[in-house]
């Protein structure tokens, strides 16, 4: 394994974080990256690897700075700041944009996240791009929320304001909070009767219909007997956690098992294995089976939505299957490294997302330490007789221990607490949820 292959992902990650936190222009950083690559191509002896690492770091920083500006200095934020007084607009702004996710019924109203494309106010309209969250009030909103699905065009008059930030001691800075949310503006829509939606494309409409059916079936056959179980099943199947009450989420977080109700690597890995295994019974070519599985996994990712955990898991599966199509067998570390770089390139906010830290940290722990622990402590160590059931059971235990050992300091730093029962709970929760 080359030095460049080992250091490049770390340099890209560091550069991305620096770009998100800094104030440099993305164009300046991109120019540095291009210049470093150009000089490296001259094959200056002894300097090629350092120059390529500089280029990787500068490219990551440019990407991070661009993502930072999309949130903090978007055209929508600039438009708002030129008209707002004390963080609020005096009057209604007519917002037109695309829904980024399905509407969610909350205590504050029906929550919709919109990528605005046009804003009109005081009889003046123009293209204004940026993300914001709107809360639709009134008694009619919960009943109509089912029609406000991801991909549809959303139009409504809204009262806009700056999103409030937490100012408690130890809380993240306002900029860090804004970057973590991905938006700066929040708005209130008076009622559902002033909302207008237009259909999305065929695929997105079909995906929304499937998600709606899953919710209905879960509500009819499971939630009717146990509302909490119905909400958990819906979260596991399509990643919709809107039905979970606060107590359940708090208990799962305290037990260290909150990840089982998210669409994550475990779900996608199991689906990939099942699909590929079934297709190999039908298709003679392993490459054809990998290609068909890749299409199915990509479709599943589009179906369950754009949650960051979904993007990470689908990216890893896609890279693995694409390597199989090319006739390659990627090593676990190579797959992890490539996936990290790909998701950082696609979404630089992953660099400051605690969920991404936990996902990659747990995966690294499993890949790096499970086999050594098993070989050292398992009953199949050199000279000992092998017993497959024991191997499988202990591998699950050691993999859980390895993952928890890596994520423990992350959990302590981010959440201020760790769970002493998480290892035992995960041994039960993970197989049960899969």
Q: What is the CATH number of the domain that holds 130?
A: 2.40.50.140
Per DSSP, 172 falls in state P
User: Quick count: other Cβ atoms within 10 Å of Cβ 213?
Assistant: 11
Decide: residue 320, CB within 10 A, 0-12 exposed, 13-18 middle, 19+ buried. buried
The pLDDT, as a whole number, for residue 175 is: 84
Which of 401, 302, 411 has its CA nearest to residue 355?
411
189 and 308 in one domain? no
253: in domain: no
Same domain for 353 and 386, yes or no, is: yes
Residue 65 sits in the same domain as residue 79: no
| Whole-number Å distance between alpha carbons of 434 and 266 | 8
306 and 428 fall within a common domain? yes
- Are 24 and 120 in a shared domain? no
140 lies in some domain: yes
- Measured between alpha carbons, how far is 353 from 346 in angstroms, rounded to an integer? 14
Largest Cα–Cα distance in the chain?
Answer: 83
Q: What is the pLDDT of residue 427?
A: 61
Residue-range definition of the domain harbouring residue 232: 203-244
Do 272 and 381 sit in the same domain of this protein?
yes
Q: And the tokens for 48?
A: 């090629």
pLDDT value of residue 256: 62
Give pLDDT, residue 249: 66
End position of a domain, from candidates 191, 221, 244: 244
3-state secondary structure of 1: coil
User: Can you list the residues of the chain whose pLDDT is less than 70?
Assistant: 1-4, 43-44, 169-171, 242-243, 248-249, 251-265, 306, 377-393, 419-434
Pair 290, 412 in one domain: yes
pLDDT at 398: 79
Residues 233, 156, single domain; the answer is no
Asked whether residue 30 is domain-assigned, the answer is: yes
Do 35 and 56 fall within a single domain?
yes
Question: Are 261 and 231 in contact, with CB atoms under 8 Å apart?
Answer: no
87 located within any domain: yes
Q: With beta carbons less than 8 A apart as the criterion, state whether 344 and 353 touch.
A: no
Indicate whether 249 belongs to any domain: no
Residue 290 lies in a domain: yes
Assess whether 53 and 137 both reside in one domain.
Answer: no
pLDDT value, residue 391: 64
Tell me, yes or no, whether 52 and 86 share the same domain.
no
Compute the distance between CA of residue 154 and CA of residue 118 in angstroms, rounded to an integer.
Answer: 11
CA atoms within 13 A on the CB side of 349: 21
Q: DSSP assignment, residue 331?
A: -
Structure tokens at 433: 């949820």
- Please say which residue of 72, 93, 113 terminates a domain: 72
- Number of domains making up the chain: 4
* pLDDT tens-digit map of 204-253: 999 899 888 888 888 888 877 777 777 777 777 777 776 677 776 676 66
Is 149 in contact with 103 (CB distance < 8 Å)?
yes
| Pair 157, 208 in one domain | no
pLDDT in tens, 319-337: 999 998 988 888 888 889 8
The reply to whether 254 falls in a domain is: no
Domain membership flag for residue 277: yes
What angle, rounded to 10 degrees, do the helices at 308-325 and 265-280 form?
Answer: 30
pLDDT on residue 19: 92
């Amino acid at each position: 394994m080359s030095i460049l292959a080992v250091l490049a992902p770390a340099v890209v990650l560091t550069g991305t974080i620096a770009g998100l936190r800094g104030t440099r222009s993305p164009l300046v950083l991109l120019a540095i990256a291009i210049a470093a690559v150009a000089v490296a191509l001259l094959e200056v002896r002894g300097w090629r690897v350092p120059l390529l690492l500089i280029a990787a770091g500068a490219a990551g920083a440019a990407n991070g700075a661009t993502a930072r500006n999309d949130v903090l200095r978007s055209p929508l934020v600039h438009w708002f700041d030129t008209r707002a007084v004390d963080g609020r607009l005096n009057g209604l702004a007519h917002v037109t944009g695309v829904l980024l996710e399905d509407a969610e019924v909350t205590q504050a109203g029906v929550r919709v996240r919109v990528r605005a494309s046009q804003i009109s106010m005081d009889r003046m309209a123009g293209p204004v791009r940026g993300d914001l969250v709107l809360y639709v009030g009134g008694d009619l909103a919960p009943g109509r929320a089912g029609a406000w699905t991801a991909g549809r065009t959303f139009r409504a008059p809204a009262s806009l304001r700056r999103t409030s930030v937490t100012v408690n001691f130890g809380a993240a800075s306002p900029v860090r909070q804004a970057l973590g949310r991905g938006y700066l503006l929040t708005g209130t829509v008076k009622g559902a009767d002033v909302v207008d939606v237009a259909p999305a494309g065929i695929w997105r409409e079909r995906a929304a219909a499937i998600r709606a059916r899953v919710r209905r079936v879960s509500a009819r056959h499971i939630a009717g007997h146990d509302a909490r179980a119905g909400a958990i099943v819906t979260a596991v199947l399509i990643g919709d956690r809107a039905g979970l009450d606060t107590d359940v989420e708090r208990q799962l977080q305290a037990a260290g098992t909150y990840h089982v109700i998210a669409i994550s690597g475990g779900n996608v890995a199991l689906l990939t294995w099942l699909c590929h295994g079934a297709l190999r019974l039908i298709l003679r070519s392993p490459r054809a089976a990998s290609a068909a599985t890749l299409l199915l996994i990509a479709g599943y990712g589009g179906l369950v939505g754009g949650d960051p955990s979904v993007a990470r898991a689908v990216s890893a599966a896609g890279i693995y299957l694409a390597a199989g199509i090319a006739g390659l067998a990627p090593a676990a570390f190579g797959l992890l490294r490539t996936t990290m770089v790909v998701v950082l390139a696609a979404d630089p906010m992953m660099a400051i997302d605690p969920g991404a830290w936990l996902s990659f940290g747990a995966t690294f722990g499993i890949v790096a330490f499970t086999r050594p622990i098993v070989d050292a402590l398992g009953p199949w160590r050199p000279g000992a007789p092998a017993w497959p059931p024991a191997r499988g059971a202990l591998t699950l235990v050691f993999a859980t221990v390895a993952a928890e050992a890596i994520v423990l300091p992350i959990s302590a730093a981010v959440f201020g607490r760790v769970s002493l029962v998480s290892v035992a709970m995960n041994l039960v929760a993970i197989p049960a949820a899969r």
